[in-house]
Structure 1
Amino acid sequence: MRKNTLARPAAPIRAVIYVRISQDRTGAHLGVDRQREDCEALAERNGWDVVEVYVDNDVSAYSGKPRPGYRRMLADLDQGKATAVIVWHTDRLHRSLVELEAYINLADARGVTTHTVQAGELDLATPSGRWMARMLGSAARYESEHKGERVARARQQKAKSGAWGGGIRPFGWGMPTGETRTKVDRKTGEETEVPVLDTTKLVPEEAAAIETGHDILLSGGSIRAWVKWLTDKGLTTTRGNPITTTEARDMLLRPRNAGIAVYRGEEIGRGAWEPIVDEAHHRAVVAILTNPARRTTPGTTPRWFGSGIYRCGIDGCTKTLKCTKAGGANRPSYRCPTQHGGGRRADKLDQYIEDLIIERLSQDDAHELLLPDPDDVDVAALQVESEQIRRRLTDLAAMFGARKIDMAQFTEGSDTARAQLDGITQQMTRAATKDPLVDLVGVPDVRAAWKTLVLDRRRAVLRALLDVTVRPARPGRMPDGGYFDYSTIDYDWKRGRG
C-alpha cells in the first residue's frame, strides 16, 4: 500500500548582493545605496534569501586595484555560502576580461547563477550565457578604455590651460573670483560654501616669496635660509601649516613657476597662467637642487657668519673654524677642531670682517668687483633648443611604445638627447646664476642693505670676496686699549683690489 507523504517546500535560494561605484566624490555612498535597494527588490520578488551584501565604494573595476569586497565574495562563494549573485549590472561586477574568466570558472564549479537588475539572468553554465557575459564584459572594457582616453585628453588640456586639477591650491596662485561653490565633507556630509579660486592668477605675496627663494638659491644661499625667511614673514603652506625644507624644495622645483605645463610628470609646453620666474632662472634652480654633488644633509645650520669659512693659521693648519662655547667660555668663540691655539671671540671677529666687506662695497669702484655677465649665452635660443630636445624624448618614447624602434635604439637616442639637455641646462644655469654681490653694489646705504640679507646670503658674499685666516693672538692689552688682537686676522681679497 502506497504511503501518502506531503511534499516538503523547496528551500529558498541563498543569494549575495555585490554593489560597486568607481568614484564617490562626496563620500555619501548614494550610488551604492541605490544599487543595493534595486538588488534587494529583485531578491524579494524572487523569494530569495540575501545572506550577505558586499560593497566596494569608490573603487574601479577597470584600474586593476584590489577590490576587498569582491575578493571576500569570491572566497565565500568558493566555500558554498550562496548559489546566486545579484548585481545591478554586469559592469558593476567586471570590467576586466581576466577577472570575468576567473569568475566564470568559479560559478561553473560551484553552481552559482548570476542575476542582474538591468540585464536579467546570466546562465554561466551554458555556452550562450558565457558568450553573453563575455560580450557584456568586452563592451564594458571598451567603455572604460574610451572614457579613459577622453578623461586623459581632458586632463591634458586642463593642465595646459592652467586650470587646477583639484586638491591643494598651488602656493603662488589662486586669487578669489568672487564666486562660491558648495563643498561636501566626505565624512560628515556637511555642506559649506567656499570661494572659487582662479589658479591662473598670482597671489602677490606668495609669488614674491617664490621669487625670493630663487634669488637666495641663485646667489649661493640654501633652502634652509629660504625656509627661515618664509617663517620670519609668517608665510605658511596653502593649508596653513609651517613650510618645511622638503616642501620648500618641491615648491622651487615646480615647472609651473616658469609657466611650463606638466602632465603625468612630463612637460607638455607652455601653460596659460602667469609665470612667477622666467625659464632660465627656473632651470638654473632645478640644476642646483638636483646636482648630485649638492649636500642634502648638511647637519646643523650655521648660526655664525664665519663658521666653516674662516681658516686656522696656526702652524700651517688650514682647517675651518667652528663657533662653540667650549672650555667654559661665556661667549661663543671660533676654534680649530684640532683644539690648538685657543679661541677668538665670535662677535668681535665677525663684526671686523663684516665691516671690511661693507667698507669695500661702499667705495666708488665697487662695481669692478662684480662678475661679468655671460653675454655669450643666448638664453632664448637655448630655451627653444631645450623644448625641441624634450619633444624628441617624447617622440622616442612614443616610437618605442609603438614598437617602431627597439630598446637599444630607444636607449641610445634617449641618452644622446639627455646629454644635450644637460649641457643646455648648464649654460642656462650659468646665465641665470646671480652674483651674491649684486644686491649690495651701487645701493645708497650698503650697511642698511647688508642688514636686510639673511645669514646665508651674507655668508655667500663672504665666500665670494674674502679668504680669512686666523693666527694665534698675542696676550695682554692691545694698543687700542682692548684685548682683541686684530693684527693676527689675515685676509685676502678674491676679487679686484682691497
Structure 2
Amino acid sequence: MRISRAVKGTDKVGGQLAECRELAERQGYEVVPGAIYEDDGISATSGKTRPGWEQLLTDVEAGQYDVLLAVEESRFHRGVGDQQRLVVACLGADVTWHTVRDGIVNPADAAGEFLATLRAAMARQEVRRKSERQASGIRAAREAGKLVGGGVRPFGYLKQKKDRTKAHPVEGPEVTWAYAHVVAGGSLGSVARRWNDRGIKTSRGNRWGARNVQQVLLRVNNCGRYSDGHGRIREGVVGGWDALVDVETWEAVHARLHDSTRRLVPLSDPVWLLSGIARCVCGETMRTGNIKTASGDHPTYRCNLTKVTGAPGRHTTARCRELDALVRDELVRAVRDAATSAVGNVADGSPARLQALLETRRGQIRARLVELGDDLADVAIPRAMTRDAIAKLTAEQDDVDTQLRDLRAQSAHAFLVADLHAKLWGRADGRVSLMDAADVTRVLGERFDALELRQRQELVKAFLWVTVLPGRTPDRLVVKRLADLQPGETPEVLSYP
C-alpha cells in the first residue's frame, strides 16, 4: 500500500492497513506475511524515489501475488505514467488489484484498463487543481501581507509557527546589529565569530560561518518585505511581520554582498593592520610575510617590489607587531586631538542610503566593463570607441571606490568619537582637564581595538601616512598625520634621508 504524506499525530498507515485486512477477510484473500508496502510521508507527485512502490513492482513481476489490495487506486499511483508501469507488471504476472473504494480492476480486459487509466488521469487532475489552489492561496496571502511558508525557522524570529511574525528577543537584535556592522565596513567572518563566541546557534543548531551569515542577511523578509523570486524586494507589498532592518540598510548590504570583487575570507586568515597601507622608502606599498630567525617566525612587512627580480633602489622591512602598535597609538592620539578641537565628528547619521547607491553603481560599472572587454574582440565594433568607454568607466569606478572608502572611514570615525564631545566639553568652566584627556585616550583605544580590521584600516588611511625608512633604530618608522600637511603638500612627495 502507499500513503501520500504523513500527518503529525495521525496513524494514516495503520488506518489503511486495518481497512485492507477487513477487505481481505470479507473476500477470503490470504494475506502473504510481510507483504505490506509502505511509503509513509513520500508523495507520489514529489518525484522522489519510493522504495515501497519500487519493491511492489519488483515482487509483482516475480509472480509472488495474485491480487493487490489498497484503500483506493490513488494509493498505488497519482499519474498515468506510474499507472502504466503497474498495468504492465500486472499483465505479465496475471495479477489484478482490489481496492476498498473502487472495487476489483483487471488490467487484462478492456474495461479494466480503461477504468484504471481514467482514474489515473482524474487523480493527476486533482493533484494539479490542488497545486493551483495552493498557489492561488499563497498569492492572496502575500498580497494581504501575510507570512507564508513553513520549513526551517527563519533565524531572528520565534520558533512557533503562529509566532513567526515576531522577532526573537535575542536573535532579532543580533541580526539588526549585523546589518549595521556590515554597512559600516565589517566582515561576515566577524559576525560569525561574534555569534559563535556568544553561543548563538543557527536555526538548525550549528555553528556559524561566513556563508551562513550571508544567507541570513540576504533574506528579503528581514526588512518586512516579500522577495520577487530573484532575491530582490517585491515592490508594492509590505509584510505584516516584524522587520529586523530598514529597507535602505538591507539594500546597502545586498549591494555590497553582491559585489563581484568580494570573496569570503576563511575565519582563520591572518591579517595585519598596515598590509597594503604602510609604504617602503621607495614609495611602494608593503605586504606581509614571515621571516624565520633563530628565535622563531616573525610576521613582517616587506616592500611589494621585492617580489620583482632586479627592482632598483633600497627596500625596507618592519616587524608587523611593532609597527601596528606604533600606528595604533598615534591614530588614537590623532582622533583624540580632533575631538578635543571639536572638529572630530565627521559623520552624524547613517550613510546607508548613499552607500547603497554607490555599491549598486559600482556593480553596474563592473558588469559594463566586462561587456566592453568582450566588445574588444568583436571586429565589427570600433576599438577606439570601446577603449574610450572603458577609460571613462574606469575613472568613474575609481571615484566611486574613493567615496565608498570615505563613507566607511566616516562610519568608523563616528563610532570612535561618539559621546566624547560631551565628555570633553561638558564641564561648567568649558575647559578640558588632563584627567579627562587621559580617560578619552583610554576609551578611544578600547573602541579602536573593538572595530573590525577593515574599519581600522580605513581610519588609518583617513588620518595617517606611514613610511618605513632604512636602518634599525625606532625613528625609522615614520608616521605622519595627514591633517598636519601644509596646503598643497601631498604625502606621496614627502622625501626622507
TM-score, scaled relative to structure 1: 0.69
Amino acid at match of 1:292: S
Q: Does 1:174 align with 2:163?
A: no
Paired residue secondary structure (2:260) = coil
- Residues 457-486 of structure 1, C-alpha deviations (whole Å, 9 max, x = no match): 3233224444422223444xxxxxxxx32x
Match of 1:443 in 2: 419
Match of 2:301 among 328, 335, 339: 335
C-alpha distance in 1, partners of 2:350/2:156? 32
Match of 1:281 among 217, 236, 249: 249
C-alpha distance in 2, partners of 1:154/1:372? 39
Match of 2:263 in 1: 295
Shift of 1:346: 4.5
Whether contact under 8 Å (1:450, 1:458) holds in the other structure is: no
Whether contact under 8 Å (1:225, 1:454) holds in the other structure is: no
C-alpha distance in 1, partners of 2:238/2:255? 20
Match of 2:482 in 1: 493
- Residues 18-61 of structure 1, C-alpha deviations (whole Å, 9 max, x = no match): x22222133x7711122122212222332323232211111112
Structure with greater proportional strand content: 1
Q: Does 1:252 align with 2:217?
A: yes
Shift of 1:246: 2.1
Match of 2:371 in 1: none
Change (3 A) 1:162 1:199: farther
Shift of 1:334: 3.8
C-alpha distance in 2, partners of 1:494/1:43? 94
Match of 2:179 among 190, 200, 214: 214
Whether contact under 8 Å (1:219, 1:460) holds in the other structure is: no
Match of 1:22 in 2: 4
Match of 2:342 in 1: 364
Match of 1:146 in 2: 129
Whether contact under 8 Å (1:312, 1:321) holds in the other structure is: no
Match of 2:460 in 1: 462
C-alpha distance in 2, partners of 1:147/1:98? 19
Amino acid at match of 1:172: G
C-alpha distance in 2, partners of 1:162/1:465? 49
Whether contact under 8 Å (1:86, 1:114) holds in the other structure is: yes
Amino acid at match of 2:416: L
Match of 1:77 in 2: 60
Amino acid at match of 1:55: E
Change (3 A) 1:271 1:472: same
Change (3 A) 1:224 1:463: farther
Matches within 5 A, 1:223-234: 223-234=188-199
C-alpha distance in 2, partners of 1:356/1:459? 16
TM-score, scaled relative to structure 2: 0.69
- Residues 213-253 of structure 1, C-alpha deviations (whole Å, 9 max, x = no match): 12221122211122233344443334554332222111111
C-alpha distance in 2, partners of 1:325/1:198? 57
Amino acid at match of 2:70: V
Shift of 1:86: 1.2
Paired residue total: 404
Shift of 1:343: 2.9
C-alpha distance in 2, partners of 1:333/1:355? 23
Paired residue secondary structure (1:20) = coil
Matches within 5 A, 1:366-385: 366-367=344-345
C-alpha distance in 2, partners of 1:135/1:59? 23
Whether contact under 8 Å (2:466, 2:477) holds in the other structure is: no
C-alpha distance in 1, partners of 2:444/2:283? 36
Match of 2:167 in 1: 202
Q: Which runs of 5+ in 2 are unaligned?
A: 307-314, 361-399, 424-439, 492-497
Q: Which one is further off, 197-206 or 331-340?
A: 331-340
- Residues 122-154 of structure 1, C-alpha deviations (whole Å, 9 max, x = no match): 121222222211222222112211111222333
Match of 1:121 in 2: 104
Aligned-residue sequence identity (percent) comes to 25
Whether contact under 8 Å (2:67, 2:97) holds in the other structure is: yes
Match of 2:73 in 1: 90
Match of 2:21 in 1: 40
Matches within 5 A, 1:58-69: 58-69=41-52
Q: Which one is further off, 34-43 or 339-348?
A: 339-348
Match of 1:395 in 2: none
Whether contact under 8 Å (2:355, 2:407) holds in the other structure is: no
Structure with greater proportional helix content: 2
Q: Which runs of 5+ in 1 are unaligned?
A: 1-18, 176-194, 383-425, 476-483
CA RMSD between the two structures = 4.0
Whether contact under 8 Å (1:443, 1:449) holds in the other structure is: no
Paired residue secondary structure (2:164) = strand
